[in-house]
């Protein structure tokens, strides 16, 4: 057994777990770790200037790499700054180890400056939260945390690590990782029941959720959709590309408003949710989104989600990629010739409906190429047309996104990342983490101006890491437009007067080009639609990160 300091034990156990970088913003309780990292050539430290941005960077890295990512913070204020983005990571099931430095345990009873009960602070947002009590527990705690974070359903975990644990030294075994395979197949009887319901269905519909992309099951969902002839929707609070957007049965995103959901689902008799959420809504409504007679089949690797809000006629706990082949085989075997013929007819009907939907998306009166400011719906179409399939898109545009998911060429499971949790300020920082995980792929982050201001400090990290092929596109309407839209829907004073309190960001106006240059990026303002494709292509070819500011229409 080697005689090691706690800081070295921590790094060596992380290496055993496959960790190659730590995202952080250090303070005094992390200094032993920072000193040890200065001697280490295997783990890279990525510095962020504010903890919320650091958290979102680590989240993006975890999602894009599919591996354990580590975020390290300083005491109670550092962890507190990160909690909003930790909430997003929890909702996205990101495999994350979050740590924070704690005071020497012999000192904490006096409640010194920056002290807090860190494990309790983090607990609501993680799968497991723990404070390491001694150096002899450190390696075991790290290995347990890594196992919990990477076991389905994946999600963040938290360790409070006192500075005395990092400074202590002892002869201690480092232990070894425990990896639980994710390819768990669903119950055989439940699969057979689901196959029978889908074969007998007159008009089935599929909802593809994040568990599809996380398990790399896009091909299996495509095969099932084609076999039964069903349209495929993305779940309303989707985070990733869970079905190829170019497929002729792709109907787009369900949305998060109850009346619209019910309108779509009422046309169907069987709903099969594959890792989809039923339902996360944006606003309460007297309308129930779930039609009374709709039969529900739900496959998910998270037992909490199955039957959470609505009764499930067939519940299958399992990994989509491991389970769907058996379901597909059952359907192909038991379907009668008449049922197979009807499935082919449904497929043709669905393809016609999708074709009409896409034609309608592009049939709106185009805006003049030289008009300014630019209408968001036309901008999104131009951006989607300009980007190749290899580009990873990170999206946090809220009120401007429109039907971006139907327009983008997001046919690969790692081609799109969105903000599932809803805590704004995620996009800029997540894009940095995603680019660090996928340096070989171009990344374009579409960010609303209000969101950009939450974690704009992460632009510095992008410049510091020399992340060429990373482009931030700021859609600037000088306001919190989504809040104006929601306030107008209230039909009160603001709707009548056109005056919206605390929802404009224009006095003084913020110059995002100047802001980006302050943080070390090249940047330019794009004035017209006709300039967008060339500006994007030029920015993507740059050997350093780039920011484009586009002024968009402010009307509601």
Q: Are residues 510 and 535 in the same domain?
A: yes
β-strand partners of 460: none
DSSP one-letter code for 244: -
Residue in 199, 286, 280, 269 with CA at minimum distance from that of residue 238: 280
Is residue 177 a part of any domain in this protein? Answer: no
Q: Are residues 218 and 346 in the same domain?
A: yes
Q: CB count, 10 Å around CB of 337?
A: 7
* Domain final position from 360, 383, 410: 360
CATH of the domain at 404: 3.40.50.970
Q: Are residues 385 and 527 in the same domain?
A: yes
Domain range for 473 is 368-551
Q: Are residues 96 and 213 in the same domain?
A: no
pLDDT in tens, the chain (556 residues): 779 999 999 999 999 999 999 999 999 999 999 999 999 989 999 999 999 999 999 999 999 999 999 999 999 999 999 999 999 999 999 999 999 999 999 998 899 899 999 999 999 999 999 999 999 999 999 999 999 999 999 999 999 999 999 999 999 899 999 999 999 999 999 999 999 999 999 999 999 999 999 999 999 999 999 999 999 999 887 789 999 999 999 999 888 888 989 999 999 999 999 999 898 887 788 899 999 999 999 999 999 999 999 999 999 999 999 999 999 999 999 999 999 999 999 999 999 999 998 888 776 667 777 877 899 988 999 999 999 999 999 999 988 887 888 889 899 889 999 998 989 999 999 999 999 999 999 999 999 999 999 999 999 999 999 999 999 999 999 999 989 988 998 899 999 999 999 999 999 999 999 999 999 999 999 989 999 999 999 999 999 999 999 999 988 8
Q: Are residues 332 and 380 in the same domain?
A: no
* Domain final position from 142, 171, 200: 171
Structure tokens at 123: 């607990």
DSSP one-letter code for 309: S
Q: Tally the domains of the chain.
A: 3
For the chain, state the CA radius of gyration: 25
Structure tokens at 420: 């599932």
Residue in 43, 41, 75, 69 with CA at minimum distance from that of residue 56: 69
How does 162-174 read in b/e, with b if 16+ C-beta sit within 10 Å? bbbbbebeeebeb
Q: Are residues 490 and 391 in the same domain?
A: yes
**How far is residue 338's CA from residue 330's CA, in Å, rounded to a whole number?**
16
Residue in 202, 144, 135 with CA at minimum distance from that of residue 163: 135
CATH of the domain at 207: 3.40.50.1220
* Domain final position from 146, 171, 196: 171
Is residue 178 a part of any domain in this protein? Answer: no
């Amino acid at each position: 057994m080697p005689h090691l300091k706690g800081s070295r034990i921590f790094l060596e156990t992380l290496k055993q777990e496959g960790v190659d970088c730590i995202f952080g913003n250090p303070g005094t309780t992390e200094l032993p770790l920072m000193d040890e990292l200065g001697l280490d050539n295997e783990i890279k430290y990525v510095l962020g200037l504010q903890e919320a941005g650091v958290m979102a960077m680590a989240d993006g890295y975890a999602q894009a790499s599919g591996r354990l990512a580590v975020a390290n913070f300083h005491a109670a204020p550092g962890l507190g700054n990160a909690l909003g983005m930790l909430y997003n990571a929890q909702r996205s099931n990101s495999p994350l180890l979050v740590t924070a430095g704690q005071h020497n345990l012999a000192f904490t009873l006096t409640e010194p400056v920056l002290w807090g009960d860190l494990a309790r602070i983090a607990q609501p947002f993680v799968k497991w939260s723990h404070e390491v009590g001694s150096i002899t527990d450190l390696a075991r705690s790290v290995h347990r945390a890594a196992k919990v974070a990477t076991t389905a359903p994946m999600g963040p975990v938290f360790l409070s690590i006192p500075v005395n644990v990092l400074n202590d030294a002892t002869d201690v075994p480092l232990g070894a990782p425990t990896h639980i395979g994710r390819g768990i197949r669903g119950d055989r009887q439940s699969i057979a029941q689901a196959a029978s319901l889908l074969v007998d269905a007159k008009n089935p519909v599929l909802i593809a959720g994040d568990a599809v992309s996380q398990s790399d099951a896009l091909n299996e969902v495509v095969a099932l959709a084609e076999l039964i002839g069903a349209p495929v929707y993305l779940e309303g609070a989707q985070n990733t590309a869970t079905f190829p957007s170019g497929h002729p049965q792709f109907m787009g995103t369900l949305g998060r408003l109850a009346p619209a959901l019910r309108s779509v689902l009422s046309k169907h008799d069987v709903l099969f949710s594959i890792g989809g959420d039923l339902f996360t809504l944006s606003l309460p409504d007297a309308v129930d989104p779930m039609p009374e007679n709709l039969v529900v089949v739900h496959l998910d690797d998270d037992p909490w989600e199955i039957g959470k809000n609505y009764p499930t006629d067939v519940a299958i706990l399992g990994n989509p990629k491991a389970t769907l082949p058996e379901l597909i085989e059952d359907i192909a075997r038991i379907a009668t010739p008449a049922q197979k013929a009807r499935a082919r007819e449904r497929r043709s009907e669905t393809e016609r409906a999708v074709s009409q939907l896409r034609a309608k998306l592009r049939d709106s009166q185009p805006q003049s190429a030289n008009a300014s400011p630019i209408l968001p719906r036309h901008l999104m179409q131009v951006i989607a047309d300009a980007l190749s399939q290899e580009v990873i898109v990170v999206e946090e545009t809220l009120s401007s996104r429109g039907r971006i998911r139907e327009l983008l060429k997001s046919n690969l499971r790692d081609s799109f990342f969105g903000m599932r949790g809803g805590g704004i300020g995620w996009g800029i920082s997540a894009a940095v983490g995603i680019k660090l995980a996928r340096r070989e792929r171009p990344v374009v982050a579409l960010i609303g101006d209000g969101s950009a201001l939450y974690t704009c400090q992460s632009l510095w990290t992008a410049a510091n890491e020399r992340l060429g092929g990373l482009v931030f596109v700021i859609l600037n309407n000088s306001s919190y437009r989504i809040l104006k839209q929601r306030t107008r829907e209230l039909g009160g004073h603001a709707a009548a007067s056109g005056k919206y309190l605390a929802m404009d960001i224009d006095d003084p106006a913020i110059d995002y080009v100047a802001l980006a240059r302050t943080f070390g990026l090249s940047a330019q303002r794009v004035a017209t639609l006709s300039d967008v494709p060339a500006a994007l292509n030029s920015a993507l070819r740059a050997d350093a990160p780039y920011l484009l500011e586009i002024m968009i229409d402010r009307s509601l």
